Chains A and B, each alone.
Chain A
Amino acid sequence: MVVLRILRYNPAKDERPTFRNYEIGPTAGMTILDALIHIKENMDPSLTFRRSCRSAICGSCALTANGKNLLACNTQLSALKKKRIVLEPLPGFQILRDLAVDWEPFFDKYRAIKPYLITKSAPPAKERIQSPDIRKRYDDAAKCIMCSACTSSCPVMWTDDSYLGPAALTKVWRFVADDRDEATEERLSMVSNEKGVWRCHTIFRCSESCPKDIDTAGCLEFLRKKVVWYSLRGRV
């Protein structure tokens, strides 16, 4: 038997979040998400959590299990190696209810960095060509599924509302490293301040918590390096 200790909170009714225990008998290969669905269907229909794809692509089910941010759908209960598993909503966000948090501030920052290809030159006849070598430069950053596990795990985010956070900055790197994008200077100026790359304390919780194993902190450091080179040449 495994005890799932889940943080329950309904802002309309409860004064503060409280933990409630659910004891379940895990089946072979049961993931945290399977367990949550099992509880919702058989034990407590009021339990609220997000999930969509159940195959680690959508990033909806990110939560904190035993202090670590992860995806509930691709983490098996047995992988946590504990008989008591504490599940909490992602830290650093307003709790909407139980395990669901308000992601609006996260997506506001994501929108702010212009997460799309910006081109200024006239489009070529067929397509904008890129070599496999250059594609490889941002392979890591392009894997992001925007689950916010990194941004939520960042201690800087817990004190500073204005910080863009690792997910948004990794996305900036994704476009800066892309040679088809023609707004490098604009992007670098946008992040070369105390809200951007210089706010990072290199604590590595972002890289540690990424369910896609992106070297988030590394992407941020590459971005810093780029900012420095451009500043030295007076282009940022």
Chain B
Amino acid sequence: MEKHRGFPYYTKRVLRASLETGTFAHLLHRITGLLIVVYLFLHMGVISLAFINGQTFDDVMVTFSSPFFLVMDLVLFAGVMIHGLNGIRIMLFDMGLFTRKQKELFWGLMVVAIVSVLIATWLVATAKGWW
């Protein structure tokens, strides 16, 4: 009996189809979604440090303003933009709009995401005097 169901089957086939716009959007949506959930838990953990020890919290905040964490912030921002904009795309479909134009809509919104990340990078860079 050949397997034709299940998570490994899904993963293999979805990765094979990942160059198709719709499947690519689906994968990206899942990955950024997971990224945001992981971040939220880390975020809650770090913020709750303030209730335990104010000094530790301040120290951690200093660490977070290092270039590495600022770049990670930009990665997070990119993830949120991609997930959010694709979320809007999916909601438009749910309203019965643009279902024939899903590819153009996806790439159009991704251009918006890229431009917004570039603007955010520029803002961080000028604020930090890297520019």
Residues on A close to B: CB < 8 A? 9, 11, 16-17, 67, 91-95, 155, 158-159, 161, 201-205, 207-208, 215, 217-218, 221-222, 224-225
Contact = CB atoms under 8 A, between A and B. Distances in A.
B22 A208 contact: yes
Given A95-B2, A218-B99, 7 more contacts: A92-B5, A93-B4, A155-B14, A202-B93, A202-B94, A215-B99, A225-B95
A155 B4 CA distance: 11
Main SS class of interface, B:
helix
Contact of B96 (A91, A155, A222): A222
Contacts of A91: 4, 13
B39 interface: no
Contact of A225 (B6, B13, B17, B96): B96
Interface residues of B, number: 26
Nearest to A16: B2
Most central of A67, A159, A204, A207 by chain B CB within 10 Å:
A204
Top 3 A-B pairs ranked by shortest CB distance?
A204-B22, A218-B99, A158-B10
Given A221-B93, A221-B99, A224-B94, A201 B4 contact: no
Interface in B1-35: 1-2, 4-7, 9-10, 13-14, 16-17, 20-23, 25-26
Contacts, number: 76
A205 B5 contact: no
Contacts of B124: none
Nearest to A157: B5
A207 B93 CA distance: 13
Interface centre among B10, B16, B90, B95 (most CB of A within 10 A): B10
11 contacts: A9-B2, A16-B2, A67-B17, A155-B17, A158-B6, A158-B14, A203-B25, A204-B102, A218-B100, A221-B99, A225-B96
